[in-house]
Structure 1
Amino acid sequence: MGFMHRIPGTALSLLLLGLAGASAPAGPSPQERPPQAAPTALLADCMVEKPTELFPVAWVVDGDTIHVDRDGKREKLRLLSIDTEEKYMPKNDSETKPSTRFGDLTAGWAQGFFMPRSPSEGAVEVGLRFPGGVEARDPYGRLLCHVVTSEGVDFNLLMVRTGLSPYFNKYGNSRIDHERFVAAQKAAMAEQRGIWDPRTNDGGSRRPYDRLLPWWDARAEAVNAHRALAASDPMRFLAADEPDQLSAAIAKGPREVTVLALIDRFFEEDDGSRTVLLRGGDKRRSVRVSIPKELRGAMEKLDLDHSYEDFRQNYFLIDGTLQMGARGFDLVGVGVEDWRLAGPEPAIPGRAPSSPADLVRRR
Structure 2
Amino acid sequence: MDIKNSINKIFSIQILFLLLLTVVSGAQVVDSNLIIGEYTISKVTDGDTFRFDGLDAPTRLLGIDTEETFKDKNAREKSYEISLDWPREYYLIQSQKKNGFPVKCDSPFGFETWEWAKDFTKDVTSVRIEKDDTTRGMDAYGRYLVYLMMKKDGKYVNYNLECVRLGYSPYYNKYGNSKRFHKEFIEAQEYARKNKLGIWDKKNKCYPDYDKRIIWWNKRASQIENFEKKFATFENYFNLMNDGEYERMSKYIGKEVIIFGTISEILNQKYPILLRFSIRKNVNFDAVIYEENESLLNDLNIDEIKEYYIYLKGKLTEYNGRLQIVLNEKSQLLLD
Scaled by the length of structure 2, what TM-score is found? 0.73
Match of 1:78 in 2: 60
Determine whether 1:172 maps to 2:176: yes
Q: Which runs of 5+ in 1 are unaligned?
A: 1-46, 118-123, 343-363
Determine whether 1:300 maps to 2:298: yes
Deviations 1:237-260 (A, max 9, x none): 223344621212333654432112
Q: What code does the residue aligned with 1:99 have?
A: D
Q: What code does the residue aligned with 1:76 have?
A: P
Match of 2:229 in 1: 228
What are the equivalent positions in structure 2 for 1:188-337 lying under 5 Å apart?
A: 188-201=192-205, 206-233=207-234, 235-242=235-242, 244-251=244-251, 253-268=253-268, 273-278=272-277, 280-298=278-296, 300-308=298-306, 314-332=308-326, 335-337=329-331
Of Structure 1 and Structure 2, the greater helix share is in 2
Deviations 1:136-168 (A, max 9, x none): 222322211111123232111111111111000
Scaled by the length of structure 1, what TM-score is found? 0.68
Q: CA deviation at 1:86?
A: 1.6
Match of 1:184 in 2: 188
Match for residue 56 of structure 1 among 36, 40, 48: 40
Say if 1:98 and 1:299 are closer, same or farther in 2 by CA, change over 3 A: closer
Match of 2:22 in 1: none
Say if 1:175 and 1:275 are closer, same or farther in 2 by CA, change over 3 A: same
SS at match of 2:113: helix
**Distance between the aligned counterparts of 1:87 and 1:256, measured in 2?**
45
Q: What code does the residue aligned with 2:52 have?
A: V
Whether the 8 Å contact between 1:240 and 1:281 is mirrored in structure 2 is yes
Whether the 8 Å contact between 1:241 and 1:286 is mirrored in structure 2 is no
**Distance between the aligned counterparts of 1:269 and 1:101, measured in 2?**
36
SS at match of 2:244: helix
Match of 1:21 in 2: none
What are the equivalent positions in structure 2 for 1:4-15 lying under 5 Å apart?
A: none
Say if 1:74 and 1:305 are closer, same or farther in 2 by CA, change over 3 A: same
Q: CA deviation at 1:87?
A: 1.4
Say if 1:334 and 1:58 are closer, same or farther in 2 by CA, change over 3 A: farther
Whether the 8 Å contact between 2:289 and 2:327 is mirrored in structure 1 is no
Q: Which runs of 5+ in 2 are unaligned?
A: 1-26, 83-88, 95-102
**Segment of structure 1 superposing worse, 249-258 or 156-165:** 249-258
Whether the 8 Å contact between 1:128 and 1:145 is mirrored in structure 2 is yes
Whether the 8 Å contact between 2:252 and 2:316 is mirrored in structure 1 is no
Say if 1:114 and 1:75 are closer, same or farther in 2 by CA, change over 3 A: farther
Deviations 1:267-314 (A, max 9, x none): 3486x5422222x13242211111233333355321224544xxxx53
Whether the 8 Å contact between 2:237 and 2:258 is mirrored in structure 1 is yes
Say if 1:186 and 1:127 are closer, same or farther in 2 by CA, change over 3 A: same
Say if 1:269 and 1:198 are closer, same or farther in 2 by CA, change over 3 A: closer
Whether the 8 Å contact between 2:136 and 2:242 is mirrored in structure 1 is no
Of the two, which has the highest radius of gyration? Answer: 2
**Segment of structure 1 superposing worse, 78-87 or 314-323:** 314-323
SS at match of 2:172: coil
**Segment of structure 1 superposing worse, 242-251 or 188-197:** 242-251
Q: What code does the residue aligned with 2:210 have?
A: Y
